[in-house]
Amino acid sequence: MEKRLDLSFKEEVKELSGANVDLCYQCQKCSNGCPLLYVMDFSPAQIIAGVRLGKKDLVFKQNTFWICINCKTCTARCPQGIEIAKIMDALRKIALKEKREIKEKQIYLFYRLALKNILSFGRLYELGLILDLKLKTKEFTKDLALGFEMFKKNKLSLFPKVVDRKKLNAAVNKIKKRGADIKPQSTQRE
Ligand code: SF4
Ligand code: SF4
C-alpha cells in the first residue's frame, strides 16, 4: 500500500489539464462508457479518485492513461463536465517529465513514430508508420494479413502524399509558438 501522499499532485494535474477533479462524485459513468476499460488496470474513475487523494505513485503504476486513446466518450458522459481525456493527457506528460516507468511501451512507441511521421509528411503516411513500427519492434509478421486486406481495399498507399513543405514548416512553427512540445522524443525509452 502506498504510504506517501503527494498533495501537490492534484494541483499539478488540475493545472495541466484544466479539469477540476474535485467535482467528481464517483458515479462511474466515465468508466462504464470507456471502450478500453477491459484492458485498463484502473478504470478512469479510479484514476480520478487516485489523483484527488494524492496517490501519485499508485496512479503511475497503472496503464490506464497509456491505454487511453482520447476518444472523449468519458468526457461526454460525465455529468460534472470533467475533461477526463485531458486528465489522461496530463498524466502522460507528467510521467514523461518525471521519467517514470512507461507501462505500455509499444503504445508510447506508436505515439512517437506517428508524430515523427506526421512532422515529416504533413499527414499520416500509414505504410511508412507500419514499416517504422516493424523495424523497431521486429514483429515483422504480426498483423500481416490485416495489412494485406487494407492494401487490397486501397486503405494503404505505397507513397506519401506530396505536401507543400513551406506550409508544413509554417504550421509546425505556429504550433510550437503556442507552447506545444511536438518534438518526437528520444527512442531510448521505447
Ligand atoms: S463521470 Fe465524472 S463524476 Fe462520474 S465518476 Fe467519472 S469523472 Fe467522476
Ligand atoms: S478518452 Fe480515454 S478514458 Fe475516456 S473513454 Fe476514451 S479511451 Fe476511455
pLDDT of residue 161: 82
Among candidate residues 64, 97, 130, the one where a domain is terminated: 97
Ligand nearest to the CA of 45: 1
* Reported pTM: 0.82
Q: Is residue 123 part of a domain?
A: yes
User: Which atom of ligand 2 has the smallest separation from the CA of 77?
Assistant: 5
User: Which atom of ligand 1 has the smallest separation from the CA of 78?
Assistant: 1
Residues 19 and 93 in one domain: yes
26 lines ligand 1 (CB under 6 A): yes
Q: Is residue 1 part of a domain?
A: no
19 lines ligand 2 (CB under 6 A): no
Residues 161 and 126 in one domain: yes
- Distance from residue 105's CA to the centre of ligand 1 (Å): 28
Q: Is residue 2 part of a domain?
A: no
Q: Is residue 125 part of a domain?
A: yes
| 187 — pLDDT class (breaks 50, 70, 90) | very low
Residues 120 and 89 in one domain: no
Number of domains in the chain: 2
By most ligand atoms within 8 Å of CB, the mutation choice from 21, 25, 34, 40 for ligand 1 is 25
When comparing pLDDT for 62 and 124, which is higher?
62
User: Residue 70: how many CB atoms within 10 A of its CB?
Assistant: 12
pLDDT over threshold 50, residue 19: yes
pLDDT of residue 25: 97
- Distance from residue 29's CA to the centre of ligand 2 (Å): 11
User: Which atom of ligand 2 has the smallest separation from the CA of 64?
Assistant: 3
Q: In 42-164, which ranges are continuous DSSP H helix?
A: 44-52, 56-60, 64-67, 73-77, 84-97, 105-121, 126-137, 144-152
Residues 44 and 65 in one domain: yes
- Distance from residue 125's CA to the centre of ligand 1 (Å): 37
Handedness of CA 119, 87, 85, 48 (dihedral sign): positive
21 lines ligand 1 (CB under 6 A): no
- Distance from residue 82's CA to the centre of ligand 2 (Å): 12
Give the chain's mean pLDDT: 89
The Cα-based distances of 67 to 2, 60, 79, 96, 158 in angstroms read 23, 13, 23, 15, 29
- The proportion of the chain whose per-residue pLDDT surpasses 70, expressed as a percent, equals 92
Ligand nearest to the CA of 78: 1
